[in-house]
C-alpha cells in the first residue's frame, strides 16, 4: 500500500499540467476570439461554439488544477464533469463536421488532446483521492 506522500508527486504533476494547460487554453482561445482580424483570420474555419467552450473551460482547468493540488474532494467531481463536458462538445463538433459544415482539422487534434489530457488528470485525481482521502472543502 502506498503512503499518502507517495501520491503527492502524481497529484502535483497532474495539478501543474491542469493549471498550465488551462493558462495556455485561455491564451490561445482569447487570442482567437479577441485578437483582432489577423488572429481571427489565422483561426480559419474555427467552430464558434467549440472556440468559446475551449476558452471558457480554460478557467475551469485552472480552478480544477488548484483544487487537485490542495486535495479537495470537489476537484475530483469537477474533473469528471470536465471530461464529460469535453466529450459532449467533441461529439457536437463531430455532428457539426458530419453535417458538412466548415471546420479546421487541427480542432480534431486539439479536442482529442484535450480529452486525453483530462482523462489522465482525472484518473490521477481519483487515485490520489482514494489513497489519501481528499479534504472536504
CA distance 14 to 53: 22
Cα–Cα separations (whole angstroms), residue 38 to 24, 32, 42, 47: 19, 9, 6, 17
Residue 134 has pLDDT above 70, yes or no: no
CA distance 90 to 119: 14
pLDDT given for residue 2 in this prediction? 47
Is 78 inside any structural domain?
yes
When divided into structural domains, the chain yields a total of 1
pLDDT given for residue 8 in this prediction? 86
CA distance 76 to 122: 7
CA distance 62 to 80: 15
Is 137 inside any structural domain?
no
Mean pLDDT on 98-124:
96
Is 91 inside any structural domain?
yes
Q: Which residue has the higher pLDDT, 10 or 137?
A: 10
Is 128 inside any structural domain?
yes
3-state secondary structure of 102: coil
Is 41 inside any structural domain?
yes
The tens digit of pLDDT for each residue in 61-108 reads: 999 999 999 999 999 999 999 999 999 999 999 999 999 999 999 999
Range of the domain at 80: 4-132
The tens digit of pLDDT for each residue in 1-52 reads: 444 555 689 999 999 999 999 999 999 999 999 998 888 888 889 999 999 9
CA distance 135 to 30: 33
pLDDT given for residue 5 in this prediction? 55
Q: Is the pTM of this model over 0.85?
A: yes
Is 120 inside any structural domain?
yes
Amino acid at each position: 500500500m502506498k503512503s499518502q506522500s507517495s501520491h503527492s508527486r502524481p497529484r502535483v504533476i497532474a495539478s501543474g499540467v491542469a493549471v498550465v494547460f488551462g493558462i495556455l487554453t485561455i491564451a490561445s482561445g482569447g487570442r482567437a476570439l479577441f485578437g483582432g482580424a489577423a488572429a481571427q483570420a489565422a483561426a480559419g474555419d474555427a467552430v464558434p461554439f467549440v472556440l468559446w467552450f475551449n476558452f471558457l473551460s480554460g478557467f475551469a482547468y485552472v480552478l480544477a488544477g488548484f483544487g487537485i493540488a490542495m486535495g479537495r474532494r470537489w476537484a475530483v467531481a469537477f474533473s469528471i464533469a470536465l471530461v464529460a463536458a469535453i466529450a459532449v462538445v467533441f461529439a457536437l463538433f463531430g455532428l457539426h463536421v458530419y453535417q458538412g459544415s466548415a471546420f479546421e482539422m487541427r480542432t480534431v487534434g486539439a479536442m482529442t488532446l484535450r480529452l486525453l489530457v483530462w482523462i489522465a488528470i482525472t484518473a490521477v485525481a481519483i487515485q490520489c483521492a482514494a489513497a489519501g482521502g481528499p479534504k472536504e472543502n
